[in-house]
Structure 1
Amino acid sequence: MSAVVLNSIITCPACGHQKDETMPTDACVWLYECEHCKTMLRPKPGDCCVYCSYGTNRCPPMQQSGPCCVD
């Protein structure tokens, strides 16, 4: 089993701005505001969080092949 990666670079689909973020291990991030253009990012249909939709690495629960925070 490989180590969980806690950093992910989020790319805003509206303006292309990128930011390296540290993902939480105990919560999903459903809303993320781009610091450049102020667009509010939400997960794409079928994804559990903004990291899974717009990040270079999936969220920690998904990296471990477990369920995410979706009910």
Structure 2
Amino acid sequence: MTALTASTLTCPNCGTQTTGEMPLDACIYFFDCPGCEAQLKPLSGDCCVYCSYGDVKCPPIQEQRACCA
């Protein structure tokens, strides 16, 4: 299975959606919302902001392999 690399993050504070490319071999721990400037961090139990706020989980999780956490 080939992992999807595009994911749309939705800010839980203001609802702004931002589509970005996820790295295949790294986790993104912080993301600054362009709408309200809140700094998003992974929720407890998630390895990255894409797993917490994205419509697609990060590539390591998609491929059911160890992640960066």
TM-score (norm 2): 0.96
The AA in structure 1 aligned to 2:39 is M
Secondary structure in 2 matching 1:8: strand
Question: Would you say 1:3 and 2:5 are equivalent positions?
Answer: no
Aligned to 2:25: 26
- Which ranges of structure 1 fall in alignment gaps of 5 or more residues? none
Q: 1:1-71 to 2 correspondence within 5 Å? A: 2-70=1-69
Aligned residues: 69
After the TM superposition, list the runs of 4 or more consecutive aligned residues in structure 1 that deviate by more than 2 angstroms: none
- Which ranges of structure 2 fall in alignment gaps of 5 or more residues? none
Deviation of 1:36 (Å): 1.1
Secondary structure in 1 matching 2:65: coil
Secondary structure in 1 matching 2:52: helix
The AA in structure 2 aligned to 1:44 is L
Question: Could you tell me how far apart the structure 1 residues matched to 2:12 and 2:62 are?
Answer: 23
Percent of aligned positions that are identical: 46
Secondary structure in 2 matching 1:29: coil
Question: Could you tell me how far apart the structure 2 residues matched to 1:64 and 1:26 are?
Answer: 12
Deviation of 1:37 (Å): 0.6
The AA in structure 1 aligned to 2:25 is D
Question: Could you tell me how far apart the structure 2 residues matched to 1:53 and 1:43 are?
Answer: 6
